[in-house]
A and B are shown apart, each in its own frame.
Chain A
């Protein structure tokens, strides 16, 4: 992996919001037009900078929600004590502009050549870069089999639900939800936080040498990644991305 990165200067560019998707009450996807965008790979993120009238500027990083070659979009979850995320989820209007730079990061990335079988473990809005990976797999016609395990508080908190349900076991993609707080009447699926036993039921056997991507809050990532190592996954095949607990973003 050494030497694979493109070393170039990342400059701030003014992006225009061209559309929005209200994913859940607290989550919004912003579709962006970024002139001169150099292209991204599935799993990378970008930096956002908002500037106030008094010159104060705040920067945050957000995962890119789309596959390579697709228009840039980010999916943002409102953190109530956050400074930037509530502005992006609630205030910003289609047609308005703000600054971005990227793409950033090259490790938590999947390309067709990365292969599979793929295990994607999402906690909450950790689904965002994993959705980009799923779209990249479809875009490139990869036949790598995928199992996605997505831990959400409730069904209405599931981001991209229609898109994910569209896989429905077809096309080599199996989607499993676990709803940790509220379950709809008649729910027969998992209803607890991800633990070693749950991983043992859902994850690919380690003998198939799967490639795992784990994204979510720190406690989720710690439990899930340790669980995979416990199942015999090679640590170098378990890529993690953690967020949350940063005092609000």
Chain B
């Protein structure tokens, strides 16, 4: 039994429409917090590309910014959950489905490593990136995605903790086996399901 405090009370009411949408250990955020391990990169769109690479790092397919913009895009409304415990409901994004991007290459890999400007990486199973579950997002709330929040484009994988939705994404490296990315190397969970509270390795 943990120590229990009669003086400690739940101070924040959870609105009815949020009940059931808040994973364990999370609270509702009012703003849109920023978290990253280093300075915010600013890559000019003229040199920006998004690539899908083989395991050895060679390119299978690469898109320029204009080519990404020419692909069919979707507007989606999603709840997002950060491992630092804030949850933000009904966030609106516009981007290209990862199905569209992975559909442009032939592969039989089970995992991918997202890689980013600034050197950030995070690992994801392919099945969590496909079937309408993930996007390369470049608009938030109807506006171009702010660099602080990962612009020009970030991954959006809202069913996993938000560190999997890599900011400043520049591509996916396909992998046959699961390997840890940046935070995963530092003890964060390899998969990161917020509903199972998979924050750290072993959770």
A residues with a Cβ closer than 8 A to B are: 1-10, 12, 14, 49-54, 56-61, 83, 87, 91, 96-99, 104-108, 218, 221-222, 225-226, 228-229, 235-236, 238-240, 242-249
B85 in the interface, Cβ–Cβ < 8 Å? yes
C-alpha spacing A165/B155, complex, angstroms: 45
CB distance from B166 to the nearest CB of A (A): 15
Judging by beta carbons under 8 Å apart, are A222 and B84 in contact?
Answer: no
- Which 9 A-B pairs rank lowest in CB-CB distance, beginning with the nearest? A9-B202, A106-B186, A225-B39, A247-B30, A247-B29, A97-B3, A218-B34, A245-B31, A56-B10
C-alpha spacing A2/B29, complex, angstroms: 32
CB distance from B182 to the nearest CB of A (A): 8
Judging by beta carbons under 8 Å apart, are A5 and B2 in contact?
Answer: no
**29 pairs, A vs B, C-beta closer than 8 Å:** A5-B185, A7-B187, A8-B201, A9-B203, A10-B203, A50-B8, A51-B5, A52-B8, A52-B9, A53-B4, A58-B10, A59-B25, A83-B11, A91-B7, A91-B8, A98-B5, A104-B187, A107-B182, A107-B186, A218-B34, A222-B34, A222-B148, A235-B39, A235-B41, A235-B119, A236-B38, A245-B32, A245-B34, A247-B29
Judging by beta carbons under 8 Å apart, are B5 and A52 in contact?
Answer: yes
B62 in the interface, Cβ–Cβ < 8 Å? no
B35 in the interface, Cβ–Cβ < 8 Å? yes
B37 in the interface, Cβ–Cβ < 8 Å? yes
Judging by beta carbons under 8 Å apart, are A246 and B40 in contact?
Answer: no
Contacts of B4 in A (CB 8 A): 51-53
Contacts of B40 in A (CB 8 A): 222, 225-226
B111 in the interface, Cβ–Cβ < 8 Å? no
CB-contact partner of A226 in B5, B27, B39, B119, under 8 A: B39
CB distance from A53 to the nearest CB of B (A): 5
Given contacts A52-B5, A83-B12, A98-B5, 4 further A-B contacts (CB under 8 A): A50-B5, A53-B4, A53-B5, A240-B39
Interface residues of B in 42-90 (CB under 8 A from A): 84-86
Judging by beta carbons under 8 Å apart, are B5 and A87 in contact?
Answer: yes
Given contacts A218-B34, A235-B118, are A10 and B185 in contact (CB under 8 A)? no
- How many A-B pairs fall under 8 Å by CB? 140
CB distance from B20 to the nearest CB of A (A): 16
CB-contact partner of B28 in A5, A60, A222, A247, under 8 A: A247
C-alpha spacing A225/B36, complex, angstroms: 11
Judging by beta carbons under 8 Å apart, are B7 and A87 in contact?
Answer: yes
Judging by beta carbons under 8 Å apart, are B39 and A245 in contact?
Answer: no
B177 in the interface, Cβ–Cβ < 8 Å? no
Most central of B38, B86, B118, B202 by chain A CB within 10 Å: B38
CB distance from B78 to the nearest CB of A (A): 18
C-alpha spacing A201/B4, complex, angstroms: 50
B140 in the interface, Cβ–Cβ < 8 Å? no
Given contacts A59-B85, A108-B37, A222-B40, are A246 and B31 in contact (CB under 8 A)? yes
